[in-house]
């Protein structure tokens, strides 16, 4: 985990909701089409999934916000204790407004992780904005934090660990693993 400034820690301490894009964040961004039509395949990193489980145990809710629709996403979301999945969200900002109302949180209490220009309107509104190492360059200068890992290869786990450690919840949710 990279060292973060005092200012960034103050932002992270407020986080109650983690909102994630899917392709390029939870996956490496590749889409594999299968037969029959309307089927696709996505690969998810197990470490990201466990990070989501740790957040769930700590009481931090998670939401997926994606412009694509996929049955695979819903299935993986269930495994990761995701509170809600918003698919076909081409106007992510309007859906984000619904999310903060539905979850009764302020923008400063939200962390959003996105990797491309479609995510920029939401990234500019949240309390803690993040992009994975593989994000488009135009995002990298506009976010609070860039993960050291690319999407689909532990970027989400890095953020989950960071939030839990900065908020002082890491020891609580991992105690049973350390014996």
Q: What is the dihedral of CA 117, 149, 164, 69, to 10 degrees?
A: 50
pTM as predicted:
0.94
Which pLDDT value is given to residue 3?
87
- Is residue 45 domain-resident? yes
In angstroms, the Cα distances linking 6 to 3, 11, 16, 74, 166 are 10, 9, 19, 36, 10
State percent of the chain over pLDDT 70: 97
In a domain, 157, yes or no: yes
Residue 21, beta-bridge partner list? none
Residues 124-135 have a mean pLDDT of 98
158: which 2 tokens?
């890095």
Q: Point out which residues pair with 113 in neighbouring strands.
A: 20, 130
Q: Is 174 domain-assigned?
A: no
Interatomic CA distance for residues 30 and 22, integer angstroms:
11
Average pLDDT, the chain: 94
Is the model's pLDDT at 38 over the cut of 70?
no
Cis status of the peptide bond prior to 36, with omega within 30 of 0: yes
Residue 39 has pLDDT above 90, yes or no: no
Does 154 map to a domain? yes
> Bridge-partner residues for 129, per DSSP?
112
Residue 146, classed as helix, strand or coil, is: strand
CATH no. for residue 34? 3.40.50.1000
Q: Is residue 21 part of a domain?
A: yes
- With a CB cutoff of 8 Å and minimum separation 6, the contacts of 176 are none
pLDDT-based confidence at 32, cuts 50/70/90? confident
Q: What is the pLDDT of residues 87-127, one digit of tens each?
A: 999 999 999 999 999 999 999 999 999 999 999 999 999 99
How many domains, in total, are found in the chain?
1
- For residues 107 and 32, the model is more confident at 107
Whether residue 175 lies inside any domain: the answer is no
What is the helix (H) or strand (E) element at residue 68, kind and residue range?
Answer: none
Question: Where in the sequence is the domain holding 113, given as residue range(s)?
Answer: 6-169
Largest Cα–Cα distance of the chain, in whole Å?
A: 51
Q: Is residue 1 part of a domain?
A: no
Q: Is 41 within the bounds of a domain?
A: yes
| Lowest mean pLDDT segment, chosen from 14-18, 61-65, 68-72 | 68-72
């Amino acid at each position: 985990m990279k060292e973060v400034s005092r200012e960034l820690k103050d932002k992270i301490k407020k986080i109650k909701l983690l909102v994630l894009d899917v392709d390029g964040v939870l996956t490496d961004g590749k889409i594999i089409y299968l037969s029959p039509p309307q089927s696709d395949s996505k690969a998810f990193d197990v470490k990201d999934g466990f990070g989501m489980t740790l957040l769930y145990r700590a009481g931090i809710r998670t939401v997926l916000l994606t412009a694509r629709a996929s049955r695979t996403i819903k299935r993986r979301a269930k495994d990761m204790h995701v509170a809600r999945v918003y698919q076909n969200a081409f106007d992510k900002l309007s859906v984000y407004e619904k999310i903060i109302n539905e979850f009764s949180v302020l923008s400063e209490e939200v962390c959003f992780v996105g990797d491309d220009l479609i995510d920029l309107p939401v990234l500019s509104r949240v309390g803690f904005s993040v992009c994975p190492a593989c994000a488009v360059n135009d995002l990298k200068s506009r976010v609070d934090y860039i993960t050291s890992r690319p999407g689909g290869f532990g970027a989400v786990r890095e953020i989950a660990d960071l939030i839990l450690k900065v908020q002082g919840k890491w020891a609580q949710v991992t105690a049973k693993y350390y014996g």
